[in-house]
Amino acid sequence: MLLALTVGIFRLMAQNGVGPVLLADLYTLHPLLMVFGFIGGIIVTERIAGVELLPRTKQTGLSLAIPPFIFGGMLVEAAGYLLDLATVRYVGAALLVVSSLLFLSLLRSFLTIGREKVSVLFMLLSALALLLSSFFSAFSLPAGNVGFVMVLLMFPVVFVLGERVELTSLASRSSTAKFVPALISVLIALAFFGFDAWYSTSLAAWMASIAFALIGATFGFFLFAERSARSRTVVSPFQRYVGSHVELAYVWGLAGSIFGIVYSLSPTFAFYDAFVHSLALGFIGLMFLAHGPIILPMVTRRQFDNAKLSFVPLGVLIVALGMRIGSELALSYSPASPLNLSLAVSGWLVFLAVLAFFIEIVRGTMKG
């Protein structure tokens, strides 16, 4: 995570002519480092922690192989790109494919042990996106390829949606059947993005715009469904914390989908950066802040003190996003050096938001 964040910050500074150029060879690897190296590690570790609470089975042992394969694959593939060695790159991608298949197998086992099926289907679809990303990564990097970028982002986005189905159904005791149309929409969107990743044609661009529209509609549906469910229950301070983060995440997801449609139909780098970071930082980042106090204590086997919760990381991240996307869009109309500085500073604000969040988690899990 620290490597991916640092590379992203240095790349942003270099692009805007602020400060020295550092770690330049890793700039194009930033999306893979972030999704495979950080987000993928968090997601699979959280699922493995859940499995280990169940009676030990063969599947439990196999699941423990996922982190070494995903981290090892990322390191080998990065080495292949840095050294320009295709064979090494293919080996790294193959390890990532194996980790994806093991993750698919782990999630499929949840269907046989009574887990809520619709949420598991969302998670299986996210693992399919991870598998496709692993395959695509053997042949090219995602930067500039809208379809590949979105297949890569669909892994965490769809997995989080699956978690929201799971958590919402548990909290409200309501049926998850209403989320089936959203599941179908996400499946179609993934297929369209996959087509766009492999075939760069005018038809593929139109399919990408339709896929963004489907994803946007899915975010809107989830936002409406979760607000309706919360309005019928008594909300505790902790639920209010989670709910506010989740609702803002859906809003950023909607914004990212709109930016994606605009970029697909009229390519302008400002809109490319806007849709990527609205989804990556706005949706995924805010969901990470929302779920962290739930997931991380479970992984570390420590109880979290809800009194330690703070909205500071949320505020800092929202400011960083506003500066990042607002400055990027403004630069496309009126180049100005203060905007370049604003973009560079926004990267460090993201770093501060993450740091503040981990300090919060550490304080919340410390025994008084």
Q: What is the mean pLDDT of the chain?
A: 88
DSSP 305: -
pLDDT for 78: 95
What the block records as the tokens of 264 is 């697909």
Mean pLDDT across 2-20 = 87
* 266-to-206, 269, 334, 336 alpha-carbon distances in Å: 11, 10, 19, 23
Q: How confident is the model at residue 230 (pLDDT cuts 50, 70, 90)?
A: confident
In this prediction, residues 316-338 reach a mean pLDDT of 89
The domain spanning residue 122 has which CATH number? 1.20.210.10
The pTM score is: 0.93
Q: What is the pLDDT of residue 4?
A: 87
- pLDDT number for residue 175: 78
DSSP 244-284: HHHHHHHHHHHHHHHHHHHHHHS--HHHHHHHHHIIIIIII
**pLDDT for 48:** 76
Encoded amino acid at 46, one letter: E
Q: How many domains does the chain have?
A: 1
Closest residue by Cα to residue 23 from 6, 37, 39, 40: 6
The residue among 209 and 309 whose pLDDT is bigger is 209
- 114-136: average pLDDT: 92
Weakest mean pLDDT among 63-67, 93-97, 157-161 = 63-67
What domain range includes position 32? 2-365
Between the two ends of the chain, the Cα-to-Cα distance in Å is 29
**Confidence (pLDDT) at 51:** 63
pLDDT tens, residue by residue, 170-224: 766 777 889 999 999 999 999 999 999 988 777 888 999 999 999 999 999 999 9
Among 11, 3, 95, 2, smallest CA distance to 276 is for 11
Integer angstrom CA distances of residue 50 from 55, 212, 229, 241, 316: 11, 32, 25, 23, 31
